[in-house]
Amino acid sequence: MPATDTIDIYHYNRAAWDRQAAQQCAWSQPVSAETIQAARRGDWQVHVTPRALPADWLPPMNPAPRILCLASAGGQQAPVLAAAGAEVTVFDASSLQLAQDEMVARRDGLTLKAVQGDMRDLSAFSDASFDCIVHPISNLYVPDVRPVWRECFRVLKHGGRLLSSFYNPVVFVGDRAPELAEQGLIRPRFKLPYSDVRDLTAQELAQKQGRGEALVFGHSLGEQIGGQLDAGFLLKGFYEDEQPQPRFLIDRFLPTFLATHAVKP
């Protein structure tokens, strides 16, 4: 089996997300001008899972908070927060995803800053730079999530909030053979933590790369939630959410999106 270090995951997944952005996937469809107008009037929501974030998870907009939208480009969260009154920086690996945010900013006269980079390395930002980080489902694209939590802790101010979402790791356990899904069968195949690079056969991995799909990693709850606690965060809120359009059979039986509200004490 190929080891993770035989593939440059950052550059590979950056290119894969450029392709997804060019194809206007669900996370690459910018919000409408009407949504931005409503946000300017104070009528707005932000999503890191299909349902909106609880309003009390987000910081007050007066005075303007400094918000980092981490691995969160695509013209969705960042422009809404900017229209609502926040000072927003959006950080992402994909230049085409970032271009969506910049397009909305130009279209609607918004001010936001777009920065390209690896979510595991926020050295572009000083310590205690932000009041809030919005980090929607994206850390499945890095082999080790703990550096992400450590960097989030560093760049947040004391009292700052980390609002993140990720998959319930159960989605990575089952065999994805289409014939099993057609039979209504869930067959455990993979052990957590999961890695496309390590756990797929050489043929399966080559086929996935041939399709230009991003490579993913299924982190355990110990890495996702325990990793935030180990970085120094306190967990303040948690919810589960369901997949409205199930991709996998398991999505029909339990909520497979998880979201956390963590605070830097």
pLDDT of residue 55: 92
Structural fold of domain 10-173+219-264: Rossmann fold (3.40.50)
| CA–CA distance, 146 with 161 (Å, rounded to integer) | 17
* CA dihedral for 40, 83, 22, 134, sign (positive or negative): negative
Measured from the Cβ of residue 21, the count of other Cβ atoms closer than 10 Å reads 23
Give the Cα separation of 104 and 38 in Å (integer).
14
In the predicted model, residues of the chain with pLDDT beneath 70 are 1-5
> What's residue 28's pLDDT?
83
- Is 43 exposed, middle or buried (CB count within 10 Å of its CB: 0-12, 13-18, 19+)? exposed
**Euclidean distance between CA atoms 15 and 182, whole angstroms:** 32
Structure confidence at residue 26 (pLDDT): 75
The confidence score (pLDDT) of residue 49 equals 96
- pLDDT for res 88: 98
Amino acid occupying residue 99:
A
Asked if 157 and 264 count as a contact pair (C-beta separation under 8 A), the reply is: yes
